[in-house]
Amino acid sequence: MSDLLKIENVSYQYDGKYRALNNVSVSFAEGELVAVLGSNGAGKSTFFLCCNGVLKLQSGKIVYNGVELKGNKKDTFTLRQAVGLVFQDPDSQIIAGTVESEVSFGPLNLELSKEEVEKRVEESLVQMDILRYRDYAPHYLSGGEKKRVSIADILAMQPSIILLDEPTASLDPQNTDALEHILLALNESGITIILSTHDVNFAYRIANRAIVFADGEIIADANVDEVFSQEDTLKKAGLKKPLLYEAFEHIQKAGLCKRSEKKPRTIEEFAWLMGDADALA
């Protein structure tokens, strides 16, 4: 797969003192689902703000679709259109008085025709299953519904890549499940999904690749199974192994597993590996 977005040697300091990113290089291919892991203050949010062009790069470069984006107005516009960013707290993102107007904000900034904006808004609301709330004021929606609005905001801009900053923060298990399905469906439709999270269980279930940040640097970038097998990396990043991953390791060690093709990502896969033939049906 060719690289869709390439970040090369990017560093960023707040107020010229606190180094949030230090010489970060990474690339993302089309259709990937990547989890960015790391403790608080590791640099994940700053990395996302740089990828979207909200923060101007102090050093390094961003290459999108093979073209280096220089940071001028035109290139920043291209980057923001192509790489959508869903903020952690929907209330920081939502500005309009109704759900429909909120979702129309991005497409209108892209100078699209009214008909095209209306079409995109409707499609995004349908995709997020919030069409019935189109005339509602966002402040009367629940946390999960607001999160859907904030994703619809970005979908309506039709980006190739969506960055989600702590998407499961403050969501209940039901809404987390719903979000997981939404993200998998978006990824299947060809959108590259990059999400930052502390929730290793969620990351392990959903992502194929994991990037680990610690002190503004990338300390691991590999397949999720491989990342969670690196004890030193997890310790340095202040992370724990996913519960299913760790439990399966113990079961394997005790020789209780009936099958051992691969480590289970979901509870259904776990049941299948333990011998329940119908679990994946």
CA atoms of 22 and 217, how far apart (whole Å): 5
Residue 87 touching other proteins (CB under 8 A): yes
CA 80 from centroid of its chain's CA atoms: 15
Q: 28 vs 87, which CB is nearer to other proteins?
A: 87
Helices (H), 110-169: 114-127, 143-155
89-97, 191-199, 218-226, 265-273 -> range binding other proteins (CB under 8 A) = 89-97
Q: Work out whether 247 is an interface residue with other proteins (CB under 8 A).
A: no
The least distance separating other proteins from the CB of residue 77, rounded to whole angstroms, comes to: 6
**CA-to-CA separations, 204 to 73, 180, 241, 267, in angstroms, rounded:** 38, 12, 9, 12
Window of 6-14, 19-27, 74-82, 261-269 that interacts with other proteins by CB under 8 A: 74-82
Binding mask 29-68 for other proteins (x = CB under 8 A): --------------------x--xxx--------------
How far is Cα 49 from Cα 36, in angstroms, rounded to an integer?
Answer: 13
Binding of other proteins by 109 (CB under 8 A): yes
What is the C-alpha separation between 236 and 222, in angstroms, rounded? 16
Decide: is 127 part of the binding site for other proteins (CB under 8 A): no
Provide, rounded to whole angstroms, the least separation between the CB of residue 187 and other proteins. 21
Comparing CB distances to other proteins, the nearer of 137 and 243 is 137
**Residue nearer to other proteins on the CB measure, 101 or 266:** 101
Alpha-carbon distance of 128 to 143, in angstroms, equals: 14
- Among residues 2, 15, 66, 135, which is the contact residue for other proteins, using CB under 8 A? 135
Cα dihedral 176, 179, 181, 187, rounded to 10, equals -140
State in angstroms the smallest separation of the CB of 27 from other proteins.
21
Q: Judged by CB, which is closer to other proteins: 54, or 256?
A: 54
**What is the DSSP annotation of 57-86?**
PSEEEEEETTEEE-SSHHHHHHHHHHEEEE
**How many angstroms separate the CA atoms of 79 and 62, rounded?**
9
Q: Return d(Cα 215, Cα 219) in angstroms, integer.
A: 9
Residues that bind other proteins (CB under 8 A): 49, 52-54, 77, 80-81, 84-85, 87, 89, 91-98, 100-102, 104-106, 108-110, 114, 117-118, 121, 135-140, 153-154, 157
